[in-house]
Chain A
Amino acid sequence: MTEAVNIGEEFRKKARELLRKGEINAVIGYKKSGLPPYSKPHIALKEDDTDEFIFDANCVHNLVLYVLNYLLEYPEDKVAVLLKGCDQKSLIVLAQESKIDRERVKVIGFGCPGVIDPRKVEGDEEDAHKSLTAENVHDKCLYCDVRNTPQADIFIGEMVDIKPTKERYFREREFYGKKSESELLDFWKGAFSSCIRCYACRQVCPLCYCDICISYRNMPQWIELSPTTDNNMLFHVRRAMCMAGRCIDCGECERVCPVGIPLRLIYNKVSLEIEDKYDGYRAGMDSERKPPLQEYSMADPEDFIL
């Protein structure tokens, strides 16, 4: 537990200060939980609430979801939030899509050494979740190039200088490189047969914010709701298209899936396709560059349409 130890203390101080000054109405961060992954989102509305804030390698949740929900409920308020670099990218996408007023969010950034993927930890005991190791670190951290939260309004703690050790989307490149089309179809059919349509993947994603999801539109019922393999496949493929050019690989969808469907293999693959076809576009990296599927240019590739 390296530089991250100080982040919790610095954040508590900063949160208390911001609330006291009245600059913001709520601060969103993490607090301790008694169960794996031993942290959970926390919203402080009063100064004393800030005592519960922590930060450690277990703080894997994407807090932009809670920023979005809070601002949708209280559109006049301002909110401060402790954001890891990966999660911050979803804030950029939300701002690009005008779903969030970036002026109302104070991003508190820091240098993140990485987070533990709770699914990689053997056993439930707190000890097993205590330190970040090469075995339990989240895949996404191995190729992270936004360790020091970009576009932070306030930066706390020291910057970190940890270079990526793997190629971006290495897992997806390996997976799709090795399998034939029929093997892939078998794999996904197997994976989607265990989907229970809990929609946790959709609910936890800050970029899935449609008031009424396409799966609930019934004139006609585009996506049948009953959890059969075919219906499930359609839901997930449709969602992959929803996320094309928008997904920033926070990894939450895969983490929350109760039956362990490797969802990032889908969304990151689509991101690779977008990068390939739209001149290296990566979601959430550049506020100025418009998401390719939300704008039209004469230079758009057509080889996959015509």
Chain B
Amino acid sequence: MSNKKAYFISDDKLNGFIESLNERVPVYVPQRFDRADGTGIYTEYRPYGEGEVDLESRTLLSVKSIFLPQCEVILGFTTNEERVDVVSEAPSDERVLFSIRNCDFEAVRRLDLLFGWDYRDEFWFARRENTIIVVNLCDSPLDDKCFCHWVGVDPVATELADCAMLRAEGGYIIWRISERGDVVIDVLDKVGADEVDVPEVEAKGFDNAIEVDGSHNALFEIFTDEIWKVLEPSCIGCGICTFVCPTCHCFEIQDEGSKRVRFWDYCTGYEFTRTEAHQPRPRQYQRYRQRVMHKYSYYPRRFGVVGCTGCGRCISACPQNVDIREDIVRLLKRAKVIK
């Protein structure tokens, strides 16, 4: 514990610090962008310098866009008369991911299990290995949409990060967790941030949890129950919840010109499983069921962890007010897991 140094960086010095850090290693940090219709802002993880830094909002798109970009070239073809060459490149630059919440960080670790399952997806792991993680601890929920405590996420965990940070009055306290975090601490030292003690962090206000962990088999049993047909008629089958979700990972691969690209896809859409001969999910309720079951039943049955980290983005972003928590509670009641 004695070699743990914490630094306090005040709000007015924050940008200067991130800029200095960015000169050493590229920094990805949540920033604000204007909605094109002028009705406000949204935040996203982007390379530093594209917008105003905002570490306190729920980002629209999750940290998934850092490790599994929305659109990525996985191969290029160069053709001449004699041969077709296949060219591919993995991302290789080291970078710092500054201020990731534990819901997002846990999601990334839960996805490691899938991307490393038998075949190692080097695009994912190259990015994972190149990223220095600074986790921003939540000692209280951001708002009433947070439900990380329902799905086994510790909002103040630090062990697997490289640095940790915590909101304090007028600024942030940042401290080292692992060796890789040294670069962040070095820069804090150089910009003259004050040395302080590593704070004691306790998570408060994460109340009224419904224990979802462990219910994956019970949910599997009620797959054919009639409740699915009336559970969520509002779902219109767009891709918003899937795209904003940090644990949703399904993608499509297409050839566009001389490139093979992969980009995010959504199981709530009709096209996901449609072939000329076969459409196993023609109805919207079946697709909604697939999304819920894949996250809360199939993923834990296969990998041992719930495929959801309770970040609340789907609840916040759904245009038709689908609240997956309501649906999970009704399902768990139907499955007799809760009363």
* A190 proximity list for chain B (CB < 8 A): 36
Taking each of B236, B237, B244, which has the highest tally of chain A beta carbons within 10 Å of its own beta carbon?
A: B236
Q: In the complex, which residues of chain A have a beta carbon less than 8 angstroms from the beta carbon of B70? A: 196, 227
Q: Which A positions have Cβ atoms within 8 angstroms of B? A: 33-35, 37, 39-43, 45, 61, 65-66, 69, 73, 119-120, 124, 187, 190-191, 194, 196-200, 202-204, 212, 216, 221, 224-228, 254-262
Q: By the criterion CB–CB under 8 Å, are B323 and A33 in contact? A: yes
Whether B214 is near chain A, meaning CB under 8 Å from some CB there, is no
* Complex-state Cα separation, A256 to B42, whole angstroms: 14
Q: Cβ of B61: which chain A residues have Cβ within 8 Å of it?
A: 196
Q: Are B60 and A258 in touch, CB under 8 angstroms?
A: yes
Nearest-neighbor residue (CB-CB) of A70 within chain B: B233
A45 and B315 in contact (CB under 8 A), knowing A33-B321, A199-B239? no
Chain B residues with Cβ below 8 Å from A212 are 271
Closest-by-CB residue of A relative to B237 is A203
Q: A residues within 8 A CB of B145?
A: 35
Q: A196-B70, A199-B239, A259-B42 are known contacts. Are A226 and B261 too (CB-CB below 8 A)?
A: yes
Q: A224 near B33 (CB under 8 angstroms)?
A: no
Closest to A37 in B: B321
B196 to chain A, nearest CB (A): 33
Taken residue by residue from 304 to 318, chain B's Cβ proximity to chain A (1 for < 8 Å, 0 otherwise) reads as: 000000000001110
Residues of A within 8 A of B35 (CB): 119, 259-260
Residues of B within 8 A of A224 (CB): 254, 256
Q: How far is the CB of B310 from chain A (nearest CB, A)?
A: 15
- CB-based contact B238/A198 at 8 Å: yes
Rounded to whole angstroms, the CA-CA distance of A63 and B39 in the bound complex is 24
B82 CB, nearest partner CB in chain A, Å: 27
Interfacial chain A residues near B60, Cβ < 8 Å: 258-259
Instruction: Tell me if B302 counts as interface (CB < 8 A to partner A).
Output: no
Q: Which residue of B lies closest to A61 (CB)?
A: B320
How far is A124 from B145 in the complex, measured between Cα atoms in Å?
A: 11
B240 touches A65 (CB 8 A): no
- Taken together as a complex, chains A and B put the C-alpha atoms of A69 and B33 apart, in Å, by 35
Determine if B254 and A41 form an interchain contact, defined as CB atoms under 8 angstroms apart: no
Q: Which of B12-48 contact A (CB under 8 A)?
A: 33-40, 42
Q: Is the CB of B243 within 8 A of A198?
A: yes
A200 near B239 (CB under 8 angstroms)?
yes
- State in angstroms the CA–CA spacing of A151 and B233 once bound together: 26
* B319 in contact (CB, < 8 A): yes
- Whether A226 pairs with B36 at a CB distance below 8 angstroms is no
Chain B window 189-208, contacts with chain A (Cβ cutoff 8 Å), 1 for yes, 0 for no: 00000000000000000000
Q: Verify B254–A260 contact, CB threshold 8 A.
A: no
On whether the beta carbons of B321 and A204 are closer than 8 Å, the reply is no
By a CB distance below 8 angstroms, the chain A residues around B238 are 198-200, 202-204, 256
Establish whether residues B319 and A255, one from each chain, have CB atoms under 8 Å apart when the complex forms. yes
Q: How far is the CB of B322 from chain A (nearest CB, A)?
A: 8
Smallest Cβ-Cβ distance to B145: which chain A residue:
A35
How many whole Å from A53's CB to the nearest CB in chain B?
A: 14
Report which residue of A43, A73, A203, A228 has the largest number of chain B beta carbons within 10 angstroms of its beta carbon. Answer: A203
Given contacts A225-B254, A226-B261, contact A194 B36 (CB under 8 A): yes
* B318 and chain A: residue at smallest CB distance: A35
A61 to B35, CA, bound (A): 21
9 new A-B pairs (CB below 8 Å) besides A41-B233, A196-B264, A204-B320? Answer: A40-B234, A198-B240, A198-B243, A203-B236, A224-B254, A225-B252, A258-B42, A259-B60, A260-B37
A33 contact set on B, CB distance < 8 A: 321, 323
| Chain A: minimal CB distance from B70 (Å) | 6
Residue numbers in B under 8 Å from A45 (CB-CB): 230
Interface of chain B residues 289 through 339 with chain A (CB within 8 A): 315-317, 319-323, 326
Q: Of B34, B37, B269, which one neighbours A119 at CB under 8 angstroms?
A: B37
Out of B243, B256, B269, B320, which one reaches A196, CB within 8 Å?
B243
**In the complex, what distance in Å separates the CA atom of A199 from the CA atom of B323?**
19
Cβ A191 vs Cβ B317 within 8 A: no
